[in-house]
Structure 1
Amino acid sequence: MQHETSESAPPGSRPGRVIIADDHELARLGLRTMLEPEPDLEVVGEAATGREAVELSRRLEPDLVLMDIRMPDVDGLVATRAIKEELPRVSILIVTLSEDPDYLLEALRVGAAGYVLKDASRREVVAAVRQVLSGESPLDPKLAAQLIRRLAHQTPSKDQPAKHGDELTQRELDVLRLVAEGKTNAEIAQSLFVSVGTVKVHVERIINKLGVSDRTQAAVRGVELGYLTPPFQART
């Protein structure tokens, strides 16, 4: 079962396009009800299985997918990996009942930007969606740093960063290290004595160069490529 809409806003004013993937109709309705009143967000489709979520994402290329984990046919983690492999610019927010670090680490490993709890308030869900769409992380900074640090310790160390498109500049490496530490744009700006706007530009360039969709995945990719090593020293 798939639902989708075909209307779109004029160029330059297009709201963030969201797909909701959950096998429970009431859960999809609840999330849609939370998001639809927001003028900057548009629910463009619904999926009841992981396979439908992948197919709908291919067809609609949304900005973000709200992804349940336990679904028939294909589960949410498998669907997340498939979407990120084909459509790396699409962000995924996992909808979960668990805050188990091992569970969340696996979600990050397959490409999720973060998670929202199923019992989260409307304000929390909308805020998490907006954070991802604006380039921020929906994860608590301390939790994000903890998860990425665990990933770094589980990833074999590289003597040199792997080549992947355009190389990161030294300033971008500095910003990436601070992102991996869970710093917000404002905190990074303060640490590097630059404006928040400058930090946003650096983060956008890092995301583009690493071929990911958000800052959380930029940090994960930085670890995988050898740009970052525990305790998050940027390799030059």
Structure 2
Amino acid sequence: MTRVVVVDDQTLIRQGIRGLLEVADIDVVGEADDGRAALAVIARTTPDVILLDLRMPRFDGIWTIEQLRAADIDIPVLVLTTFDDDALVLGALRAGARGYLLKDVTLAQLTRAIHTLAEGGTLIAPSITDRMLRAIRSGPSPAGPDAPAVQHLTEREQEVLRLVAHGYSNREIAGILFLAEGTVKNHVSTILTKLGARDRTNAVLRALHEGILH
């Protein structure tokens, strides 16, 4: 059973999400009302996925993601928020979130996203994808001004990267491309190195910015 921590400053929202996820056989192992409390809960429970709101009054969602990455805690973060502001979306993804959904999603969409992230994939709400792509291509590189130049990707690496961008896990990519899962993992590692990216989401963002993905 997939284990989740829910982080939201509104008690009723947290309780509602917990109830819905438990109906869908997802184990909510902890709750927190801001980023600082979340770090303690996450350290204690080590969930498979962190379900995180962005706008919280004290320590917000982006601060929380940055603290997780600084501590090398590689638990996938799925942002679940009412805000589709471009700056917030990009800020969360650049900080290291692997998924971004709005709170108007169905339970089926939410559970699919949680399972996708738990299996190593990424997922962004289709309703914000087009605006996000335009913002990425017109803004600074997601890897930062001091990032190394992008190295050439082979056709196979580009193929793997396209599937990563669509949210597929290594296991799913292996099935699609008829490869061993270990081979896919090696391809992903090489892609991260060539793009100067710290994780899969950052690799997709930089590839979009550089025009490698369309």
Shorter-chain TM-score above 0.5: yes
Is the counterpart of residue 231 in structure 1 residue 211 in structure 2?
Answer: yes
Alignment partner, residue 136 of structure 1: 121
Runs of 5+ unmatched residues, structure 2: none
Alignment partner, residue 24 of structure 1: 10
* TM-score (ref. length: structure 1): 0.68
Is the counterpart of residue 114 in structure 1 residue 95 in structure 2?
Answer: no
- Aligned CA RMSD, in angstroms, stands at 3.7
C-alpha contact 1:207 1:218 (8 A) present in aligned 2: no
C-alpha contact 1:18 1:45 (8 A) present in aligned 2: yes
Deviation at 1:115, TM superposition (A): 1.6
C-alpha contact 1:49 1:73 (8 A) present in aligned 2: yes
Distance 1:169 1:149 in 2: 23
Distance 1:213 1:128 in 2: 21
What letter corresponds to residue 62 of structure 2 in structure 1?
L
* TM-score (ref. length: structure 2): 0.74
Alignment partner, residue 179 of structure 2: 198
Runs of 5+ unmatched residues, structure 1: 1-14, 163-167
Alignment partner, residue 65 of structure 2: 80
Alignment partner, residue 7 of structure 1: none
Which residue of the other structure, out of 28, 40, 43, is the alignment partner of 2:28? 43
Alignment partner, residue 89 of structure 1: 74
Alignment partner, residue 174 of structure 1: 158
> Per the alignment, do residues 159 and 129 of structure 1 end up closer, same or farther by CA in structure 2, a change over 3 Å counting?
closer
Deviations 1:125-144 (A, max 9, x none): 11211121123322146955
Deviation at 1:208, TM superposition (A): 5.6
C-alpha contact 1:136 1:214 (8 A) present in aligned 2: no
C-alpha contact 2:136 2:209 (8 A) present in aligned 1: no
C-alpha contact 2:80 2:103 (8 A) present in aligned 1: yes
| Count of residues paired in the alignment | 202
Secondary structure (helix, strand or coil) at the match of 1:35 reads helix
Deviation at 1:203, TM superposition (A): 4.9
C-alpha contact 1:93 1:112 (8 A) present in aligned 2: yes
Is the counterpart of residue 216 in structure 1 residue 196 in structure 2?
Answer: no
